[in-house]
Structures are given as structure tokens and as C-alpha cells.
Amino acid sequence: MKVIILLLTSTGQRIGSLSDLTLGNLTRIEEHGIYKLVIYESTNNEYYTYCSKEAANAINDYLAYRQRSSERISFSNVTQQWEPSGAPLIRQQFDSSDILQARHPKPMSTIAIRRVLVQQLVRCGLRTVEHPIATIPNSTKRCRKAVAIGNGFRKLAISSFIRARVNHEIRELLVDHATQLDQNYFRPSEEEVLEQYMLAEPFLTVDPNARLTQENQILTMDRNRLETRLERLEQACKDFL
């Protein structure tokens, strides 16, 4: 659940794309401790985006658990990817004591992902269970909510990009809103897209403790850079005198 929620929150991808993700769709960006994700790979709708460091850590913990449960997966430092590439990123629940079941992962369907998400939101008190209208016999019609379960996470991610003042065209690319006109006139490099995503990465972090840790790390790095520049300046002044 942690992987599902943090992926939806930090990437803005659609729920329907989660079930198609495989380990081969993830490439670790070591410098930033995040993952690059290829969504809808090998289709006309293929695009790429990134996830937050918080989501990347959750993925690492989840895959490490699957390793401990005897699933045959491993991380390659050469390709910066998990192998085998065809294994599903989000697999069906399994009995960790059953080695045969653990070693044959099956992808979790979109319907199942939606169902567990709704259950989790109810447990957290963010949603209430509303049964079909009692006045209509045998009614199975679902009750609509103010915020759709899929678009709610997607809107949060897009709002975070806006709050971080991410370039509009790059923001559209990251959430798969790109128009043909944008692609014809503006084709940013992968480095440009990553740089813009990292501007929003703190806003996409859910856990306040993780956000504070990241902010402290950034401040420490900035202080170290400043101290290094001051030392160089002092040395240059001494050499000049």
C-alpha cells in the first residue's frame, strides 16, 4: 500500500498504469536516490516520469522484502535496474512461507488496486462506506464521491508541480498531458526534465519527517558548498598578497 500511494502521489500517474509496471520500467538515479519510471512502455502512449526519494525508499524496502521471501529478484549496479525485468513491480499478495508462490509473482490487477485503495482510505477515515440507495431494490450503483480515487492523487501531484513552479511544458510531460503542439515546438532533454522534477520533489514528499530530513540534508550541502567557497576565497587572497 505504501508503494502504491507514494507512487500515485509523487508521479501523478493514472491508477490503470500501475498494474502494467515491471521492474524493467524502473531505473535508479543514484545521484538523487530516486527512480525514473517508463509508463505504458512499448505503446503509443509511452512516456517517462520520476518518483520521489520517499517513494524510491518504499520501493527498495518492498523489493527487499520480496527478496527475503525467496523471490528471485536482484539489483544490478551496472544497469541500475532490478532483474528480471519482466517481474511485476506490484504483485498480488502471497504467502511468504510458500516458496513456490513467492517465486512466481503475479501482477496485481487495476480492479484489485482500486479495491485495496478504497479499503485503506476507509481505514484512515478519509472515506466512509456508502451503500447503494435503499429505495431502489437490488441496486448496485456506486455512490459517487467528491474526489475520485484516481484523480485525487493525480490532482495532488499536479498541484505540487504548480506550487514548485515547474516549467509548464515539462509538467505536462511528467503527468502525460503533453499535446502534439508542445512536442513539435519544445523537446526538453532528460536532464532538463529531471532538474525541473527535483524542484517539486520536496512538495511531493508525504511524510513530514522525511521532508524535514531532506531539507536538513539540503541545508547541510549548501553550508558545505559555502564553506568550501570561503576557504578557496581566503586561499586566493593569501596567494595574491
User: pLDDT tens for residues 74-89?
Assistant: 999 999 999 999 999 9
**Residue % of the chain over a pLDDT of 70:** 81
> Band of the pLDDT at 141, cuts 50, 70, 90?
low
Check whether residue 32 and residue 88 sit in a common domain: yes
Check whether residue 113 and residue 215 sit in a common domain: no
pTM over the 0.85 mark: no
Q: Look at residue 134 and tell me whether its pLDDT is greater than 60.
A: no
> Which pLDDT does position 222 carry in this prediction?
64
Helix axis angle for 149-163 and 2-11, nearest 10°, is 50
Residue matched to cell numbers 517508463 = 38
Check whether residue 86 and residue 201 sit in a common domain: yes
Q: What is the CA radius of gyration of the chain?
A: 22
> Which pLDDT does position 166 carry in this prediction?
94
Q: Look at residue 162 and tell me whether its pLDDT is greater than 60.
A: yes
Is residue 138 in some structural domain?
Answer: no
> Band of the pLDDT at 235, cuts 50, 70, 90?
confident
Check whether residue 172 and residue 58 sit in a common domain: yes
Check whether residue 192 and residue 226 sit in a common domain: no
Phi, psi of 37 (to 5 degrees): -115, 130
Is residue 135 in some structural domain?
Answer: no
Q: How many domains does the chain have?
A: 2
Average pLDDT over residues 145-174: 86
Task: Measure the CA angle with vertex 89, ends 167 and 154; round to 5°.
Answer: 35
Check whether residue 202 and residue 213 sit in a common domain: no
Check whether residue 83 and residue 196 sit in a common domain: yes
Residue matched to cell numbers 495532488 = 156
Which of 59-73, 87-101, 158-172, 203-217 has the least mean pLDDT? 203-217
Check whether residue 151 and residue 239 sit in a common domain: no
Check whether residue 80 and residue 177 sit in a common domain: yes
Check whether residue 241 and residue 153 sit in a common domain: no
User: Across the chain, what does the average pLDDT equal?
Assistant: 85
List strand residue ranges (DSSP E) for the chain, in order: 26-29, 34-39, 47-50, 74-76, 81-83
Residue of 97, 113, 88 whose CA lies nearest to 16: 113
Which of 129-133, 165-169, 178-182 has the least mean pLDDT? 178-182
Top pLDDT among 235 and 5 is at: 5
> Which pLDDT does position 147 carry in this prediction?
60
Q: Look at residue 163 and tell me whether its pLDDT is greater than 90.
A: yes
| Residue ranges making up the domain that contains 151 | 2-127+146-206
Check whether residue 98 and residue 216 sit in a common domain: no
Which of 20-29, 115-124, 145-154, 217-226 has the least mean pLDDT? 217-226
> Which pLDDT does position 78 carry in this prediction?
94
Helix axis angle for 208-240 and 53-68, nearest 10°, is 120
